[in-house]
Structure 1
Amino acid sequence: MKTLKNLLDGLLPPQPGAADEEHALQLATAVMLVEVMRADASFHAAERAAVLAGLRAKFGLSEDEAARLSELAEIQAKTASDWFAFTSRINENFEMPQKLRMIEFMWDVAYADGHLSEHERHVMWRIADLLHIPQGAYIHARMRAQAAAGLSD
């Protein structure tokens, strides 16, 4: 089980070792999911649940690990001046299929409350752009998440 200290260590300058890089990558991914959750004017428990589900599915984390990572990501999201540090780490470590799966998780968060706000749409577009997601793949990921949520445009 990963401890909060291990997750916090992911914020420190990179140290040799795959575990440190994995923690930093998990945090970067979690921050992107949290940013979508924070984009909505009102907080919905379903959005937090979608963030946690995405983290568990993406990284094979336990409920407790995902919750700790999400809490740390919320702190980072509130204090970050931009998304570049997070998206560049993701770009360096994820191949396109992994980034597309992450975008799908982000759409799941955006649609978790049953609607998509304009600000959520903008956040999704900006992050997808920073991750170099092709427009067609971005739209298809959105459509899959919409269908999974039982929604239509």
Structure 2
Amino acid sequence: MFNQWISRIVAEKPGSESQSVADVERVSAALLVEIARADHQLDDEEMESICDALKQSSSLPDAEIDTIVHTAITDADSTVSLHEHIRLVNEHFDRANKLMLIEQMWRVAAADGNIDRYEDYTIRKFSELIYVRHSEFIKAKLRVLES
């Protein structure tokens, strides 16, 4: 499903396919890194979870995904606003892909064995900004906690 979305974005954007896919992955990585950093700790488990989420949903080589994730981590310190990322999600993600992104956020938050209140708050805010219903937000959280 996520790969279908990536293909649709690639078809809509001019330029090379790998560049467009990389742009999509950069947005996803930036948002997932924000979740991992919400508790002011960036654990190895959370890093691994971010990489796994992107590798499962992308056709990019592992080395390129690792580079995207490390760039997102480096850029996170200087990021003032995530508005542009949220706007891109709202413009290009359908409901199913938004729900998948929220579920990936929960997986990152739970990767270290503890969902911190700041991680919970940040995911809640993102879900509101991308117009995910509260019931869907809760269902995504429960799916992650049950797995």
Report what 1:97 is aligned to.
96
What is the aligned counterpart of 1:17 among 15, 18, 22?
Answer: 15
Report what 1:42 is aligned to.
41
CA contact (8 A) 2:86 2:129 kept: yes
- Tell me by how many angstroms 1:24 deviates: 2.1
Amino acid at match of 1:97: A
Give secondary structure in 2 for the equivalent of 1:59. Answer: coil
Which stretch has the larger CA shift, 114-123 or 56-65? Answer: 56-65
- Tell me by how many angstroms 1:60 deviates: 3.1
Amino acid at match of 1:126: K
CA contact (8 A) 1:25 1:90 kept: no
Output the CA distance in 1 between the equivalents of 2:53 and 2:102.
Answer: 10
- Tell me by how many angstroms 1:67 deviates: 0.7
Report what 1:59 is aligned to.
58
Report what 1:135 is aligned to.
134
Amino acid at match of 2:51: L
- Tell me by how many angstroms 1:77 deviates: 2.1
Q: TM-score, normalising length from structure 1?
A: 0.80
Report what 2:82 is aligned to.
83
- Tell me by how many angstroms 1:144 deviates: 0.6
Amino acid at match of 2:119: E
Unaligned runs of 5+ in 1: 1-14, 149-153
Q: Deviations over 1:87-142 (max 9, x none)?
A: 11111111110111111111000000111111111111111111111111111011
- Tell me by how many angstroms 1:18 deviates: 5.8
Output the CA distance in 2 between the equivalents of 1:79 and 1:21.
Answer: 23
CA contact (8 A) 2:22 2:60 kept: no
Output the CA distance in 1 between the equivalents of 2:135 and 2:16.
Answer: 33
Give secondary structure in 1 for the equivalent of 2:77. Answer: helix
Report what 1:121 is aligned to.
120
Report what 2:3 is aligned to.
none
Which stretch has the larger CA shift, 58-67 or 123-132? Answer: 58-67
Displacement over 4 Å in runs of 4+: none
Amino acid at match of 1:109: V
- CA-based RMSD: 1.6
Output the CA distance in 1 between the equivalents of 2:73 and 2:27.
Answer: 11
